[in-house]
Amino acid sequence: RAALPLLCAASALLLAAAAAIPPPEEAARMARFVLHSCDWGALATLSAQEGLRGRPFANIFSLSDGPPGPLGGSGVPYLYLTDMEISVQDLEVNSNASLTVSLAETPYCRKHKYDPQNPLCAHIIFAGSIVKVNDSEAVLAKKALFSRHPEMETWPKDHDWFFAKFNITNIWVLDYFGGLKIVTPEEYYSVKP
């Protein structure tokens, strides 16, 4: 019985250490950490809608790079989409987009009293394109998304939902004072989160 409290305390310390934010000099790790910490992001498209054609249009989307936990992230932002959604209609005309995720959506910034615009409340901007995933990758995307967003399984089947991913071509990290840091996709995918 005496070992149980010690085991619980040790587990709590391991979890706290695993959830520690990466230092500012490790921008690629920070990018992976922030994406994996977030359940949603702001996706900006170029509008194809009448009256807005060619203008930026941002919208919120649920996302996941893998099941929650320190070892669950692949770094690939997966989305569950339908052609009925206005931003997806934009993507059908031009698949280029940007995706912003921020620790402002987690308890981290509130705990430290960081305003979402404060650089210490890290946010990552990805540029790239949205692509439908193939059948084998859809299995990974489904596990990643439904583990974090179980409600998705109950969404109306007649909306023709499909799994997609954000194909990253550029990454900017703002996690400290002094401006944006550029991380290549190769650097991003090669680090351990």
Q: What is the pLDDT of residue 70?
A: 81
Region of residue 113 (phi > 0: left; psi between -120 and 50: alpha; otherwise: beta): left
179 to 43, 45, 97, 118, 182: CA distances (angstroms): 22, 24, 22, 11, 10
Q: What is the pLDDT at residue 19?
A: 54
Q: Which pLDDT belongs to residue 87? A: 97
How high is the pLDDT of residue 124? 98
What domains does the chain contain, in order, with CATH numbers? 27-190 (2.30.110.10)
Mean pLDDT in consecutive groups of 10 residues from the start of the chain, 193 residues = 40 44 97 97 96 95 94 92 96 97 97 97 98 96 97 96 98 97 98 84
pLDDT at 20: 87
Distance, CA of 130 to CA of 112 (rounded, Å): 34
**pTM: predicted TM-score of the whole model, two decimal places:** 0.88
Q: pLDDT tens digit string along 79-123?
A: 999 999 999 999 999 999 999 999 999 999 999 999 999 999 999
